[in-house]
């Protein structure tokens, strides 16, 4: 049996109301080029029952104890056979053309793809089921730290070569807030990185239990990243990494202020003011010299519809 090109790792915890849409969003486009690995992180609701209903259409795994989001993703990645890992949280979903987009881009042999995502509230919009566009717009960089365009940081938008992910040590166990930023710093000089400008391939679902609204833990997460950088746990050039961290710190300083947490903003500013200055200089350079140009290619149409076996 040929190894699949993609291994989609769906990590979930207590998401019985959402996980079916996550799995179905992959199976309707997967065909033979993709395997679906669904990791139920010791949920206490009916998530495991939903996933067992898919039978052989997915690889279902359930650790004996709760590993946390990072641990569950690593567990799923350890079972993968595909050349590229696609991470998808159990409350998110892929657009019907996502794998066509990714397949078109991996022909350029990147180490990472940063997909374009869109937020939705609770229910997936009808646009998530619309026909695929014909082309992809993207920017290409020799490595992640050269990125000069904004990107919405979430784990469901990351596609990474499996051997590169494993060589970097995977997701940091126990780190949840700023977890994707930590992994990207580990992968920051791994090689060619493609940032998708269009189309949107991921639907990031907003609901009552999202962690994104918890400002203080995210700020504390930045201090963890700074400590790791100080201990030289990340590869690459220190100045470029510091400028990238400065941009991250500036965002969370602003967010702290808008959430009525001025002392938290001042504490972060006191530690990172010089990094924020580097980030500002880097952005000014981009304004003067211009950002990396967007490229455009046609989407390769190779989708094979897969039947979905599940409980009604």
Percent residues over pLDDT 70 in the chain: 91
Report the pLDDT value the prediction gives residue 210, as an integer from 0 to 100: 61
Question: Region 154-158: what's the mean pLDDT?
Answer: 95
Reading across the β-sheet that carries 193-198, which strands appear in turn?
A: 59-61, 34-40, 6-12, 84-89, 158-161, 112-114, 193-198, 135-141, 295-298
Q: With a cut of 90, say whether residue 173 has pLDDT above it.
A: yes
Low-confidence winner among 215-219, 252-256, 301-305 (lowest mean pLDDT):
301-305
Q: With a cut of 70, say whether residue 128 has pLDDT above it.
A: no
What is the rounded average pLDDT for all residues in the chain? 91
Q: With a cut of 70, say whether residue 32 has pLDDT above it.
A: no
With cut-offs at 50, 70 and 90, classify the pLDDT of residue 303: low
pTM for this model (two decimals):
0.92
3-state secondary structure the chain: CCCCCEEEEEEECCCCCCHHHHHHHHHHHHCCCEEEEEEECCCCCCHHHHHHCCHHHCEEECCCCCCHHHHHHHHHHHCCCCCEEEEEECCCEECCCHHHHHHHHHCCCCCEEECCEEEEECCCCHHHHCCCCCEEEEEEECCHHHCCCCCCCCHHHEEEEHHHHHHCCCCCCCCCCCHHHHHHHHCCCCCCEEEEEECCCEEEEECCCCCCCCHHHHHHHHHHHHHHHHCCCCCCCHHHHHHHHHHHHHHHHHHHHHCCCHHHHHHHHHHHHHHHHHHHHHHHHHHHHCCCCCEEEECCCCCCCCCCCCCC
Q: With a cut of 70, say whether residue 243 has pLDDT above it.
A: yes
Q: How many residues does the chain have?
A: 312
Question: Region 47-54: what's the mean pLDDT?
Answer: 96
Question: Region 8-20: what's the mean pLDDT?
Answer: 95
With cut-offs at 50, 70 and 90, classify the pLDDT of residue 169: very high
Report the pLDDT value the prediction gives residue 33, as an integer from 0 to 100: 83
Contact present, 105 and 136 (Cβ < 8 Å): yes
With cut-offs at 50, 70 and 90, classify the pLDDT of residue 132: confident
Q: Which CATH superfamily is domain 6-211 in?
A: Spore Coat Polysaccharide Biosynthesis Protein SpsA; Chain A (3.90.550.10)
Q: With a cut of 60, say whether residue 58 has pLDDT above it.
A: yes
Question: Region 145-170: what's the mean pLDDT?
Answer: 96
| CB-count exposure of residue 148 (10 Å: 0-12, 13-18, 19+) | middle
Higher-scoring residue by pLDDT: 281, 213: 281
Report the pLDDT value the prediction gives residue 35, as an integer from 0 to 100: 94
With cut-offs at 50, 70 and 90, classify the pLDDT of residue 305: very low
């Amino acid at each position: 049996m040929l190894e699949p090109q993609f291994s989609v790792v769906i990590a979930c915890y207590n998401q019985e109301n959402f996980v079916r849409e996550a799995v179905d969003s992959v199976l309707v486009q997967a065909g033979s080029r993709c395997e679906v690995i669904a990791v139920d992180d010791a949920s206490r609701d009916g998530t495991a029952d939903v996933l067992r209903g898919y039978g052989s259409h997915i690889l279902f795994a359930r650790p004996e104890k709760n590993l946390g989001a990072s641990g569950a993703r690593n567990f799923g990645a350890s079972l993968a056979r595909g050349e590229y890992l696609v991470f998808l949280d159990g409350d998110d979903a892929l657009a019907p053309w996502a794998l066509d987009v990714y397949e078109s881009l991996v022909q350029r042999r990147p180490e990472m793809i940063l997909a374009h995502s869109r937020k939705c509230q609770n229910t997936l919009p009808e646009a998530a089921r619309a026909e695929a566009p014909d082309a992809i717009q993207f920017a290409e960089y020799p490595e992640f730290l050269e990125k000069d365009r904004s990107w919405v940081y979430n784990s469901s938008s990351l596609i990474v070569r499996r051997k590169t992910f494993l060589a970097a040590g995977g997701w940091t166990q126990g780190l949840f807030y700023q977890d994707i930023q930590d992994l990207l710093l580990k992968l920051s000089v791994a090689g060619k990185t493609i940032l998708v400008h269009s189309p949107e391939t991921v639907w990031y679902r907003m609901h009552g239990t999202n962690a994104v609204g918890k400002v203080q833990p995210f700020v504390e997460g930045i201090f963890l990243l700074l400590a790791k950088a100080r201990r030289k746990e990340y590869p690459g050039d220190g100045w470029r990494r510091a400028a990238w961290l400065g941009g991250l710190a500036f965002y969370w300083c602003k967010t702290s202020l808008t959430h009525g947490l001025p002392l938290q903003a001042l504490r972060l500013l006191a530690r990172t003011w010089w990094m924020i200055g580097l980030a500002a200089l880097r952005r000014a350079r981009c304004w003067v010299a211009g950002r990396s140009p967007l490229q455009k290619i046609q989407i390769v149409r190779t989708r094979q519809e897969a039947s979905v076996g599940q409980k009604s």
